[in-house]
Amino acid sequence: MRPLMLQGHERSITQIKYNREGDLLFSCSKDQKPNVWYSLNGERLGTYDGHQGAVWCLDVDWESRKLITGAGDMTTKLWDVEYGTIIASIPTKSSVRTSNFSFSGNQAAYSTDKAMGQNCELFIIDVRNADSSLAEQTPTLRIPMTESKITSMQWGPLDETIITGHDNGNIAIWDVRKGQKVVDSGSDHAAGINDMQLSKDGTMFVTASRDTTAKLFDSESLMCLKTYKTERPVNSAAISPILDHVVLGGGQDAMEVTTTSTKAGKFDSRFFHLIYEEEFARLKGHFGPINSLAFHPDGKSYASGGEDGFVRVQTFDSTYFENIFE
């Protein structure tokens, strides 16, 4: 199958996400304008204008009504998905690196960078009746990160915990009610964690790290279950919702990109078996490192966003579903 090439960003993609039904695909990049697309045909529905800096992260809630974005212009913004208007713009003291809605959509969390004399902090806000007054309201929870900054984040089950990945390779679980750390993984990863994505049932999650590996963890105990090894930094990893497959994407640092050809195979999407840890397929396509990956909720296609500014939506052939491991 030929992939859909979504051209709408002028600079490298930072994150892509499907909504729950999978009919919409959201993308953000360093060009300040998050986009929303029809995932079926790649038609662009619109852009969310308002940020003044690179948009690092986005998330869409369960009902596809609200979108949250975090950017280098030191704001987190809540948007109305349908109309593209800003519901609230929350100022921060440094750029916002991660932002996620809780499973119920009642709360949202975001974290700021350790920069300009400011410590990294994790904030939780109530977004049930969000309006412009949210900018002045005090967050329901604020946790300073003294050791290392948060580089990726997920809500745990039942909105009771938040799982954070840090730039020193640590993973921690925070109790939202107490505002305390309850589990710490120690140093399973040797370098920073670029991405974390939960499995469909939320019992496991996969991490992507600069230490050239992706690992599968138990969501409650943070026990490392599997390791998927590559030769290059892994920027993103996702778990298939229907098969025991994991897809990884990455490549070397952006500074070295111009010195290598696409044929060198550094920018492929790489498919591993979830349980056997074996690589069984690679897909070429991007002209630079892959920065973000997402499986469609039905598991029949996946999307990748790269340093080249393209989002590619690849539908799987029937042979992909017939592939049986011996």
User: What pLDDT shows up at residue 326?
Assistant: 66
Q: Which residue has the tokens 């009919």?
A: 23
| Cβ pair 38, 50 in contact under 8 A | no
Q: Which residues of 8-29 are buried (b: 16+ CB within 10 A; e: fewer)?
A: bbeebbbbbbbbeebebbbbbb
Q: Which residue has the tokens 């060009």?
A: 31
User: What pLDDT shows up at residue 112?
Assistant: 95
| Cβ pair 235, 289 in contact under 8 A | yes
Domains and CATH numbers, the chain: 4-322 (2.130.10.10)
Longest dimension (CA), the chain: 59
User: What pLDDT shows up at residue 136?
Assistant: 92
| Cβ pair 312, 303 in contact under 8 A | yes
321 phi, psi to nearest 5 deg: -80, -20
User: What pLDDT shows up at residue 260?
Assistant: 56
**Cα–Cα distance measured from residue 62 to residue 66, given in angstroms and rounded to the nearest whole number:** 9
Helix (H) or strand (E) holding 234: strand 234-239
Q: What stretches in the chain show pLDDT beneath 70?
A: 253-265, 326
* 175 φψ region: left (φ > 0), alpha (ψ -120 to 50), beta (else): beta
User: What pLDDT shows up at residue 254?
Assistant: 56
User: What pLDDT shows up at residue 257?
Assistant: 55
Q: How many other CB atoms sit within 10 Å of the CB of residue 187?
A: 11
| Cβ pair 236, 291 in contact under 8 A | yes
Q: Which residue has the tokens 């410590």?
A: 119
User: What pLDDT shows up at residue 239?
Assistant: 97
**Cα–Cα distance measured from residue 41 to residue 35, given in angstroms and rounded to the nearest whole number:** 15
Show the tokens assigned to 277. 């840890």
**Cα–Cα distance measured from residue 275 to residue 246, given in angstroms and rounded to the nearest whole number:** 9
Which residues on neighbouring strands pair with residue 137, listed in sequence order?
A: none
∠ CA 67-68-71, rounded to 5°: 135
Which residues on neighbouring strands pair with residue 312, listed in sequence order?
A: 5, 304
Within 8 A by CB and 6+ apart from 27, the residues are 6, 8, 9, 13, 15, 16, 34, 35, 36, 37, 58, 305, 311
Q: What is the pLDDT of residues 38-84, one digit of tens each?
A: 999 999 999 999 999 999 999 999 999 999 999 999 999 999 999 99
- pTM above the 0.75 mark? yes
**Cα–Cα distance measured from residue 121 to residue 262, given in angstroms and rounded to the nearest whole number:** 38
**Cα–Cα distance measured from residue 38 to residue 65, given in angstroms and rounded to the nearest whole number:** 15
The DSSP annotation for 42-95 comes to --EEEE----SS-EEEEEE-TTS-EEEEEETTSEEEEEETTT--EEEEEE-SS-
Q: What is the pLDDT of residues 121-136, one digit of tens each?
A: 999 999 999 899 999 9
User: What pLDDT shows up at residue 323?
Assistant: 76
User: What pLDDT shows up at residue 264?
Assistant: 60
| Alpha-carbon dihedral angle through residues 154, 158, 159, 161, given to the nearest 10 degrees | -70
| Cβ pair 214, 232 in contact under 8 A | no
Q: How many other CB atoms sit within 10 Å of the CB of residue 194?
A: 24
